[in-house]
Amino acid sequence: MELILKQDVQNLGFKDDVVTVKNGYGRNYLIPQGFAVLATPSAKKVLAENLKQRAFKEAKIVDDAKKLAEALKALEIKISAKAGGEKLFGSITNIDIAAALEAAGQPIDRKFITSGVVKRTGKYAASVRLHREVVIELPYEIVAEK
């Protein structure tokens, strides 16, 4: 079944992508939730026209995302957490990284940050998706509170 995504869907695609999925997934989840519409020939023509009109705006958005990526790479993020030796009491997730970025003056929504659950002090890297074409690796360090 071919569908046109109306918004980003995790592990499937981005808005306005034409994707092929199993019939049940499309009929029972994507279409009723409003995440996608059927990719009929007329819908594909409308999509192509919309993409043509949006190409110029998209270039500006990508440039802004690249500038933001350069600003994020310049940041040095240190997250302090309670720890016993090297092991943390609790864990550090993308929520904590988003809070640290906001404290540094660069608010990024936590759903665009991908990092595993970290339970030890040290240096790590998180993946930040600023745009479908702009994904950066953001280094951060976890230090023990004193």
DSSP string, 20-79: E--HHHIIIIIHHHTSEEE--HHHHHHHHHHHHHHHHHHHHHHHHHHHHHHHHHH--EEE
Instruction: Give the span between the Cα atoms of 129 and 112, in whole angstroms.
Output: 5
Find how far residue 94's CA is from the centre of its chain: 11
CATH code for the structural domain at 2-64: 3.40.5.10
Spell out the domain ranges in the chain: 2-64, 68-144
Instruction: Convert the pLDDT of each residue in 129-139 to its tens digit.
Output: 988 888 999 99
What's residue 1's pLDDT?
93
Contact between residue 134 and residue 73 where contact means Cβ atoms under 8 Å apart: no
CATH code for the structural domain at 68-144: 3.10.430.100
Tell me the whole-structure pTM to 2 decimals. Answer: 0.68
Instruction: Convert the pLDDT of each residue in 58-97 to its tens digit.
Output: 888 889 989 989 988 888 899 999 998 889 999 999 999 9
Phi, psi of 41 (to 5 degrees): -55, -40
pLDDT band at 55 (very low <50, low <70, confident <90, very high): confident
Token pair 């997250």 is at which residue?
79
